Amino acid sequence: MAHAVSPLAPTSTPDAPAIEGVRFATAEAGIKYRNRTDVLIVALDEGTEVAGVFTRSKCPSAPVEWCRQNLSQGRARALLVNSGNANAFTGRKGRETVRISADHVARVFGIDPATVFLASTGVIGEPLDPGKFGAVLDEAAGRLAATPWIEPAKAIMTTDTFPKVATRTVDLGGVPVTINGIAKGAGMIAPDMATMLSFVFTDAPIAAPVLQALLSAGVETSFNAITVDSDTSTSDTLILFATQKAAGRGAPRIEAADDPRLQGFRAALHDLLKELAHLVVKDGEGATKFVEIAVTGAASDASARRIGLSIANSPLVKTAIAGEDANWGRIVMAVGKAGEPADRDRLAIWFGDTRVAVEGERDAGYSEAAASAEMKKQDIRIRVDLGLGEGAATVWTCDLTKEYVAINGDYRS
Amino acid sequence: MAHAVSPLAPTSTPDAPAIEGVRFATAEAGIKYRNRTDVLIVALDEGTEVAGVFTRSKCPSAPVEWCRQNLSQGRARALLVNSGNANAFTGRKGRETVRISADHVARVFGIDPATVFLASTGVIGEPLDPGKFGAVLDEAAGRLAATPWIEPAKAIMTTDTFPKVATRTVDLGGVPVTINGIAKGAGMIAPDMATMLSFVFTDAPIAAPVLQALLSAGVETSFNAITVDSDTSTSDTLILFATQKAAGRGAPRIEAADDPRLQGFRAALHDLLKELAHLVVKDGEGATKFVEIAVTGAASDASARRIGLSIANSPLVKTAIAGEDANWGRIVMAVGKAGEPADRDRLAIWFGDTRVAVEGERDAGYSEAAASAEMKKQDIRIRVDLGLGEGAATVWTCDLTKEYVAINGDYRS
């Protein structure tokens, strides 16, 4: 099931530094794949605090339920992730696998099972044998390391065509702290793979409730502002771990979300989340174009966002982009179907810097050549102004190609 | 832009009878197409009452706005439809075209312009020259006929691969009355074609408010229960004309929606609407499978419907069906993302009569062979039981194929 690397992949993977209090190992458990790592175990030093956001699916996977339950106490000592099996829609057996796996990790590290976080990505509906972990955990725990970060990013891949790593170093009360993140995208192959996973680690001494506030705000303009195909996984998981270790180097402990010293950290975290989210889009199945959709002049930010996602999820818009067609009529259609306040006669639409429609009709100065040139680019910018209010939002997506259909429909035929 | 006839097309078009008070002609106005009819003019005898439902798009076409405005008085004397240009997002010029066209029809037939109904389907954003109608209307008005109904169905086609006609004859107070309907599907070709149009005619003597009640109820289980690609047109239009002529043959005038004599008519109308809606799905772009999705056991009918549409609109479900893959994990995903009450551990899923999942996990008696055999059929039935309540709904869709992407993305490249 090898796929060519996405044409939108970055040319290199950043060399992220070690984070004090975070060590990891990867292993080949043979859960589904052969000759590649499929298990990631991360050990977190005592004192690590944690925040998370999870899929809104009403049918979440067993590991998602486990993490939600443990998140309330805000402490984390380990993370176990596997690829190849999502442990979703696996009933009682799935819950049992989660419990056995967490117990195993707890035993190996001598920690409380309630501080073990779990994530699984891969096939839905296949029982996940906890014995697969048993066979590799003890050995892996004996060779934990703090780098290189490309290894955890590789172990969690399913049909991703490149590993996704991002890093930032930022000042916190006069002390440099580091934030590293890894992510995997939604890929789907026989019979079912569907999950966005992302894990972010920092040495910053920030209390769990503050981490949660930072993460919940940051996800809105990053992972919740991207869409590949409008389908929501049963397993989407984003967890932020803070080892607090930078306190030993003099960084201040942050216990309030409105602490002014957080300004730089917040910006860096949100920027890193956005970078990871963009990498997920750039590895969208069959994608050949990265598309930014900026909506302005809407009745509210929430309205702008819904209109943006209506455009980003429209198969007709996405196929037009694949065909390099400056098809603004389909943008109008997608604005109209969003169900949000819109006045056709105030609507304006741009491809790149070329305004193609204004005040409810085709722009008299519209240049088909300029719009077509814009569509030939790899990065496409679409802007829609509603002319109603101050609401604004930006979302990102990729195009819809025959390759997407082939990846998701052909493999059994 | 010739496309092969859909593999899901019916083998023949029904030979619908004349309806007293309805005469029509079609013409070649050359609006966009060559060597085919693209204009339909229908003359309706005095006394004809009318009801309609239109796109919920916030950016409706000029003809949709015109029809909405005229509907309130409940009277109709003529219908003018063109294919090749949707007269949508055409600003002031679009409204002007509508007014000029209605005036022209009114002059030719000696009627009030406010009783002229208009619909346009085709390119969005291109001005529609009312002179195109001017050139053919007078001539066409001189050769009105009551049959054959395949001609109006052909004139309103865009990228439809077959004409869509349905007919019913039903008892109304001891007198047989006829209902004929025509429809066109949503097809998209350079640069933009997007419209579902359907027109239904009857000689039944039914008052406009009753017609509206019948139509609004019927659309929920027919046109509003189908989806090809989740994209809503700027121009969707369904109009029901009742000439009242059967009163001359002794049919009772119906003035209340709860009149028990309506029972047969209501059932026949709803059945005809469903048939036309199914024909639209069967001509979905690139479709190779007709898919029925029945949701039962939901918290409410509305909830069942939203879950059904979440499944029917999921690109991952639709590509799996194209690939003949009994991929129930994607059904779980689509149930989960609908945002409606659902309990993973009570969920059951069937392909045809094969139960593949029950109580939150794969059915122990699940036969991959039986499920795969079901997926090879042209008509696919999927059933989901939520196990929560009495809510039920059925929706219909088609698969998502590479041909869909080719039709909608390739034509400019």
> Which parts of B194-245 are beta strand (E)?
197-202, 226-227, 237-242
Annotate A66-104 with DSSP letters as a single string: HHHHHHTT-B-SEEEEEEEE---S-HHHHHHHHHHHHHH
The reported pLDDT for the residue numbered A303 is: 94
Closest CA to A235 of A55, A31, A39: A55
Tens-digit pLDDT profile for residues B80-114: 999 999 888 888 889 999 999 999 999 999 999 99
Q: In B4-53, which ranges are continuous DSSP H helix?
A: none
pLDDT-derived band of residue A81, with 50, 70 and 90 as boundaries?
Answer: very high
Contact B323 A411 (CB under 8 A): yes
Contact A347 B59 (CB under 8 A): yes
**CB-nearest partner of B192 from A327, A347, A360:** A327
Mind listing the domains of chain A with CATH numbers?
22-282 (3.60.70.12), 290-409 (3.10.20.340)
Percent of chain A's residues with pLDDT above 70: 94
Contact B405 A402 (CB under 8 A): yes
More confident: B365 or A234 = B365
The reported pLDDT for the residue numbered B131 is: 92
> Which parts of A232-358 are beta strand (E)?
237-242, 290-298, 348-351, 354-358
**In angstroms, what separates the C-alpha of A312 from chain B's closest C-alpha?**
12
CA-CA distance, A380 to B132, in Å (whole number)?
Answer: 37
From chain A, the residues in CB contact with B230 under 8 A are 230, 313-315
The reported pLDDT for the residue numbered B3 is: 60
Considering only alpha carbons, which residue of chain B is nearest residue A192? B329
Strands B290-298 and B379-385: parallel
Closest CA to A291 of A307, A274, A278: A278
Annotate A373-392 with DSSP letters as a single string: HHHTSSEEEEEEE-SSSSEE
From chain A, the residues in CB contact with B324 under 8 A are 412-413
Tens-digit pLDDT profile for residues B203-249: 999 999 999 999 999 998 888 888 776 666 677 889 999 999 999 99
Q: Within a 10 A sphere around the Cβ of A64, how many other Cβ atoms?
A: 27
More confident: B185 or A113 = A113
By three-state DSSP, how is residue A299 classified? coil
The reported pLDDT for the residue numbered A26 is: 98
Instruction: Check: CB of residue A77 under 8 Å from CB of residue A107.
Output: no
From chain B, the residues in CB contact with A409 under 8 A are 319-323, 325, 399-402
Q: What is the DSSP letter of B202?
A: E
The reported pLDDT for the residue numbered A190 is: 30
**CB-nearest partner of A337 from B57, B91, B400:** B57
Mean pLDDT value across residues B350-372: 89
Q: Which of A42-51, B34-43, B168-177, B228-237 has the lowest mean pLDDT?
A: B228-237
Q: Is the pLDDT of residue B195 over 80?
A: no
**CB-nearest partner of B323 from A339, A362, A410:** A410
Annotate A210-258 with DSSP letters as a single string: HHHHHHHHHHHTTGGGEESSSPPPS--EEEEEE--GGGGGTPPPB--TT
Q: Which of A249-258, A301-310, A337-346, B152-161 has the lowest mean pLDDT?
A: A337-346
pTM score, two decimals? Answer: 0.82
CA-CA distance, A158 to A280, in Å (whole number)?
Answer: 12
The reported pLDDT for the residue numbered A191 is: 33
**In angstroms, what separates the C-alpha of A105 from chain B's closest C-alpha?**
26
pLDDT-derived band of residue B411, with 50, 70 and 90 as boundaries?
Answer: very low
Tens-digit pLDDT profile for residues A126-143: 889 999 998 899 999 999
Contact B124 A333 (CB under 8 A): yes
Instruction: Check: CB of residue A184 under 8 Å from CB of residue A121.
Output: yes
CA-CA distance, A136 to B201, in Å (whole number)?
Answer: 71
Considering only alpha carbons, which residue of chain B is nearest residue A229? B315
From chain B, the residues in CB contact with A232 under 8 A are 333, 336-337
pLDDT-derived band of residue B188, with 50, 70 and 90 as boundaries?
Answer: very low
- Residue B240: beta bridge partners? B51, B200
Q: Is the pLDDT of residue A164 over 90?
A: yes
**CB-nearest partner of A405 from B56, B125, B405:** B405
Helix-helix angle A328-337:A301-312, to 10 degrees: 130
Q: Is the pLDDT of residue A305 over 80?
A: yes
Mean pLDDT value across residues B395-412: 79
Mean pLDDT value across residues B32-49: 95
The reported pLDDT for the residue numbered A206 is: 96
Contact B409 A342 (CB under 8 A): no
Structural Rg of chain A based on CA atoms: 22
**CB-nearest partner of A59 from B57, B92, B344:** B344
The answer to whether residue B167 is catalytic is no
Instruction: Check: CB of residue A73 under 8 Å from CB of residue A117.
Output: no
Cα distances from A299 to residues A306, A312, B342, in angstroms, run: 11, 19, 32
CA-CA distance, A323 to A310, in Å (whole number)?
Answer: 19
**In angstroms, what separates the C-alpha of B245 from chain A's closest C-alpha?**
38
Q: Is the pLDDT of residue A83 over 60?
A: yes
Helix (H) or strand (E) holding A141: helix A131-141
Cα distances from B375 to residues A305, B296, B356, B383, in angstroms, run: 37, 21, 13, 13
**CB-nearest partner of B357 from A89, A344, A402:** A89
Mutate to test the interface with A, among B55, B58, B235 (most CBs of A within 10 A): B58
pLDDT-derived band of residue B342, with 50, 70 and 90 as boundaries?
Answer: confident
As a whole number, the mean pLDDT across chain A is 90
Mean pLDDT value across residues B287-301: 95
**In angstroms, what separates the C-alpha of B276 from chain A's closest C-alpha?**
23
What does the block give as tokens for A209?
């409730």
The b-or-e profile of B289-322 (16+ CB within 10 A means b, else e) is bbbbbbbbbbbbeebbbbbbbbbbbbbbbbbbbb
Instruction: Check: CB of residue B248 under 8 Å from CB of residue B168.
Output: no
From chain A, the residues in CB contact with B286 under 8 A are none
CA-CA distance, A315 to A402, in Å (whole number)?
Answer: 12
Tens-digit pLDDT profile for residues B263-286: 999 999 999 999 999 998 888 888
Closest CA to A138 of A233, A27, A8, A47: A27
State the sign of the Cα–Cα–Cα–Cα dihedral A338, A342, A343, A346: negative
Q: Is the pLDDT of residue A53 over 70?
A: yes
Catalytically annotated residue among B115, B195, B296, B354: B195
Q: Within a 10 A sphere around the Cβ of A210, how many other Cβ atoms?
A: 23
Strands B39-44 and A379-385: unpaired
ipTM score: 0.74
Per-range mean pLDDT, top range of A116-130, B199-213, B282-296, B303-317: B199-213
Instruction: Check: CB of residue A413 under 8 Å from CB of residue A324.
Output: no
Mutate to test the interface with A, among B193, B311, B343, B344 (most CBs of A within 10 A): B344
The reported pLDDT for the residue numbered B18 is: 97
Tens-digit pLDDT profile for residues A186-224: 654 333 445 688 999 999 999 999 999 999 999 988 888
Catalytic amino acids of A?
Answer: 195
The b-or-e profile of A91-124 (16+ CB within 10 A means b, else e) is bebbbebbebbbebbbebbebebbbbbbbbbbbb
CA-CA distance, A35 to A290, in Å (whole number)?
Answer: 31
Q: Can you tell me which residue has the tokens 């810097």?
A: A353
Contact B319 A192 (CB under 8 A): no
Q: Is the pLDDT of residue B194 over 70?
A: no
